[in-house]
Amino acid sequence: MDLSYTPEDVAFRHHARAWLTANVPTQHRPAAVKAGAAFDMAWQRKLYEGGWAGVNWPKEFGGLGLSAVRTLIWWEECERVGAPGYERTTIALTHAGPTLITRGTEEQKAFHLPKILRGEALWCQGFSEPGAGSDLAALKTRGTVDGDYLVVNGQKTWTSGAATAQYQELLIRTEAGSERHKGLTWIICDMSLPGIEVRPIKTMMGESDINATFYDDVRIPLANVVGKVGEGWSVAMSTLAFERGNTFLRDQISLSGKVERAIDLARNTITPNGKPAIADLEIARKLAEVKADALGLRAMAVANVSNIDRNGAPGPEGSMVKLLVSQVNKQLNEAVAEVLGQPFLDYAGTKESGPWTFDYMWGWVLTIAGGATEIQKEIIADRVLGLPRSR
């Protein structure tokens, strides 16, 4: 055990820091859906040109093949200069790309992976449906084979970025009468195909980058199937280990910085009694406790990368990180609402108009999207603790 970095890791850090400092965008990410997506693609393009695209993708597929420790260093340096996160490139870089790497054909990989790395294509995820959220295997959107095509009919929902994505990882039921995990197919869907309609869903934050997506006789070439027809569930689950290792690293690191900003806010906010909010012991201790929590999450990030580099897979902490990060984030948000008092309510429907207020509401996105808190607990109970199955 040690907390020190090898000289090579330190050199890598300085190399990353120098490049990031010179290249980090000087403007904030725009709030508008299209402008935001364009910003994300431009940043990905810049990363590609600088040789920083796909930090943890294998080298043979165009990535940097960084060890987990160096991936952590990369995110720490991004955090230090306030570099953009994945944003709308999330699905392409952390899910669709890795799925293609694991299960795609040579043609699929050759066509899509470079586009993702170069920032030429955004992806969205077509998994959830109105009747299949946490219970994904209940999905009903149908695909019927017709010659060399799958003809798709149905509806997906919570499709983040559907209005700006070029491609979608689409999970559909292709075997009539099949149930649960059987008879599903994972297919690459070109979002410009006729018969696809994207309708924005306005959120409580006032923004609309999640959508309902409708499919009316959408003809997708069978060549776009990843894995085989009927193997969709195993394809969809093939990147689980990848996700557990990496998806929350940036969040784990950035939480400590966010806590410090909240503490500064409490020092600088005068409450109606004329004193700074930090002088309120209850607020001060709440903030102190989330500060300790955030340090614990950072320690877990180090444990996580240690396990990946040592054993090739995350340890139990990998399944626990999302549960904890999203909960600690909510506790921090609650403390901030108390710090700000009435001005916390000043909000005009965009993140810029009230970043803390936006974050407070975004807290529920983190505890629901990508496996709700309750599902995270099921995963821990089943896979880590081996408790008797609940279903």
Partner 1 sequence: MDLIPDDQQQQISELAASYLENELPLSRLHVPAVAGASRATRRAFAEMGWLSMALPEDSGGAGLGLVEEALIFREIGRVVGPTAPLPIILSAKIADAGGLAGLRDQLVTGAGAAALAIAEAPLTADDGGVSGMARIYDVEDAACILVEVGNEAFLLDPAGADLSPLPWLDPGTPVARIDLAGLRVLARAPAATTRRNGALLTAAMLVGLSEGAIAMIREYAGIRETFGRKIGAYQAVRHPIAEGAARSEHAKALLYFAALAMIENRADVDLQVRSAKVIAHRAATRNADINIQLHGGIGITDDLPAHHFMKRALMLSPWFGSRKEHLDALLHEPLSTI
Number of residues that bind partner 1 (CB under 8 A): 57
Q: Which is nearer to partner 1, 79 or 129 (CB)?
A: 79
When the beta carbons of 192 and 390 are compared against partner 1, the nearer one is 390
Q: Which of residues 278-297 bind partner 1 (CB under 8 A)?
A: 278, 284-285, 287-289, 291-293, 295-297
Of 36, 34, 187, residue with least CA distance to 112:
187
Residue of the chain from 139, 320, 335, 366 that contacts partner 1 (CB under 8 A): 320
Strand-pair category, 225-226 with 210-221: unpaired
33 near partner 1, rule: CB under 8 A: no
Q: Taking contact as CB under 8 A, which single stretch among the options 90-98, 131-139, 164-172, 376-384 is the one that binds partner 1?
A: 376-384
Distances, alpha carbon 336 to alpha carbons 10, 263, 276, 331, in Å: 35, 9, 13, 9
> Which listed residue (87, 179, 207, 243) is catalytic?
243
Q: Which of 138, 270, 299, 345 binds partner 1 (CB under 8 A)?
A: 299
Burial grade of 142 (CB within 10 A; 0-12, 13-18, 19 or more): middle
**Amino acid letter for position 328:** V
- Map residue 66 onto helix, strand or coil: coil
In the complex, the smallest distance separating the C-beta of residue 315 from partner 1, rounded to whole angstroms, is 8
Binding segment toward partner 1, per CB under 8 A, in 46-54, 76-84, 166-174, 200-208: 76-84
Task: Report the C-alpha gap between 2 and 18 in whole angstroms.
Answer: 26
What's the CA dihedral at 376, 380, 383, 386 to 10 degrees? Answer: -140
Contact call for residue 35 and partner 1 (CB under 8 A): no
Q: Does 317 bind partner 1 (CB under 8 A)?
A: yes
- Asked if 384 interacts with partner 1 (CB under 8 A), we say yes
Near partner 1 by CB under 8 A: residue from 176, 204, 348, 385: 385
Nearer to partner 1, 131 or 296 (CB): 296
Q: For residues 104 and 225, is the Cβ–Cβ distance under 8 A?
A: no
**For residue 130, what is the DSSP state?**
T
Give the SS3 label for residue 318. helix
Determine the Cα–Cα distance for residues 4 and 40; give it in Å rounded to an integer: 33
Place of tokens 């209005």: 163
Q: Is 193 or 372 the residue whose CB approaches partner 1 more closely?
A: 372
Minimal distance in Å, beta carbon 80 to partner 1?
A: 6
Give CA–CA dist 118/37, Å, rounded.
Answer: 14
Residue 306 as a binder of partner 1 (CB under 8 A): the answer is yes
Tokens for 163, please give them: 């209005």
Neighbours of 8 (CB within 10 A): 9
Known active-site residue 243: yes
Query: Coil, strand, or helix at residue 1?
Result: coil
Q: Which of 257, 341, 343, 355 binds partner 1 (CB under 8 A)?
A: 257
Contact between 8 and partner 1 per CB under 8 A = no
Q: Which of 135, 121, 141 is nearest to 220 (CA)?
A: 141
Using CB under 8 A as the binding rule, whether residue 16 contacts partner 1 is answered as: no
- The least CB distance from residue 334 to partner 1, in Å, is 16
Least distance CB 214 / partner 1 (angstroms): 33
**Residue 307 in the binding site for partner 1 (CB under 8 A):** yes
Q: How many CB atoms lie within 10 A of CB 51?
A: 9
| Interaction of residue 7 with partner 1, rule CB under 8 A | no
Residue 331 binding partner 1, by CB under 8 A = no
Residue of 176, 178, 329, 356 whose CA lies nearest to 264: 356
Q: Does 23 bind partner 1 (CB under 8 A)?
A: no
**Residue 390 is a binding residue for partner 1 (CB under 8 A):** yes
C-alpha distances in Å from residue 177, one per residue of 131, 180, 183, 206: 17, 10, 8, 40
Give the residue numbers marked as catalytic. Answer: 243
> Rule CB under 8 A: which residues touch partner 1?
1-5, 9, 69, 72, 76-77, 79-80, 256-257, 260, 263, 278, 284-285, 287-289, 291-293, 295-300, 302-303, 305-307, 309-310, 315-317, 320, 323-324, 374, 376-378, 380-381, 384-390
